[in-house]
Chains A and B, each alone.
Chain A
Amino acid sequence: MTASSLTIWTIIVLLGIGTFLLRFSFLGLIGDRKLPPWALRHLRYTPVAFIPAIAAPLVIWPDATGGEPEPTRILAALATVAVGYVTKNVLLAITAGLVTLYGTGFLLG
């Protein structure tokens, strides 16, 4: 990482303030007014849209291999999603991903 300490702290503080304002928005400032249904409908999908958008390029073009796709990592990612989807359990999904990563990494050398 080449970011300076000042940059990192700027991000920490602004992200902290921004996140607090999102959490405090209705409770503290807007009061008991309802959000319009279209806004709620969009807000519902923020995690399932933003998080895969961040993860997908990391799975297909990992920095650690110089950006080359690698079967081990793709298999591990698929195992994580499959176990997470079926069991609805975050920790089991992480375990499945790591076991696949290390297991197939070992088998494929």
Chain B
Amino acid sequence: MDGIPYLVVIAPFAVLFGVVATEAGLSLAETMGFSVLVVAGAAQFTAVQLLVDQAPVWAILAASLGVNLRMAMYSAALTPHLGQAKLWERISVAYLTVDQAFASAMLTYEKEPEMSPADKVSYYLGFMIPIAPIWYGGSWLGAVAGTAIPPEYALDFALPITFLALVAPALRSAAHIAAAFVAIVVALLAAGLPSGAGILLAGALGMATGAEVERRMETKR
């Protein structure tokens, strides 16, 4: 039940997705399709933004999956703890892998090494039991309420603000800041490219910059 404090963060974020998706022209069913099948806020916002920009399908998928690449890292980190669990348990954990659950589970597993594999699965799924329904319900509420909000409230700007708010706390080191800085500069310089292409280029170069700065800082130490 460690998931409950996170509801304060997840619920407004879910509502915001519903509002933004509806404002972008998505139907209620499409908005819910995103929240139920994808279950990844930042990637959902990315896909909706690129749909608005009329980017080609391949570019939308590449950029959104790019945002989600970190999930592969989470999967790798969880494997020593949950790799022996039953198939349906691993499928459930995978479907419910979100930043907050991953971070909380890893901290708990490291703090309490005596947990059995079954305990670890219970902890993970227990964490997500309150969160997943709030994610679906919040999106639904936002989608229904979104149609009632008049356009002069500049809700188009809710999306970049949300993105920046997600990223700012993650700027933990010089390498993170360098990655974000290069990504921003390249994205602005590449704004003339077909939509989607600039983001992919900027994201890839930012990622490589972060990795390189980290490598150099480690060699120096």
Contact = CB atoms under 8 A, between A and B. Distances in A.
Interface in A62-109: 62-64, 73, 76-77, 80-85, 87-91, 93-94, 97-98, 101-102, 105
Interface of B is mostly: helix
Interface residues of A, number: 76
B54 interface: yes
Contacts of B46: 50-51, 54
Contact of B37 (A2, A16, A93): A16
Contacts of B194: none
B211 interface: yes
B61 to A, nearest CB: 6
B160 interface: yes
B89 to A, nearest CB: 9
B4 interface: no
B65 A64 contact: no
Interface of A is mostly: helix
A87 B168 CA distance: 9
A53 to B, nearest CB: 4
A85 B168 contact: yes
A93 B13 CA distance: 12
B213 to A, nearest CB: 9
A42 B164 contact: no
A18 B182 CA distance: 27
Nearest to A61: B191
Interface string B16-31: 1000000011110010
B211 A55 contact: no
Contact of B169 (A49, A64, A88, A105): A88
B63 A8 contact: no
B170 interface: yes
Contacts of B157: 58, 62, 64, 73, 76, 101
Contact of A98 (B158, B167, B207): B158
B167 to A, nearest CB: 5
B206 A53 contact: yes
A1 B165 contact: no
B78 interface: yes
Given A27-B83, A56-B187, 6 more contacts: A1-B24, A11-B51, A14-B61, A18-B61, A24-B75, A80-B164
Interface of B: 8-9, 12-13, 16, 24-27, 30, 33-34, 37-40, 42-43, 46-47, 49, 51-52, 54, 57, 60-61, 63-76, 78-80, 82-83, 87, 90-91, 93-95, 97, 154, 156-171, 175-176, 179-180, 182-184, 186-188, 191, 198-199, 202-211, 214-215
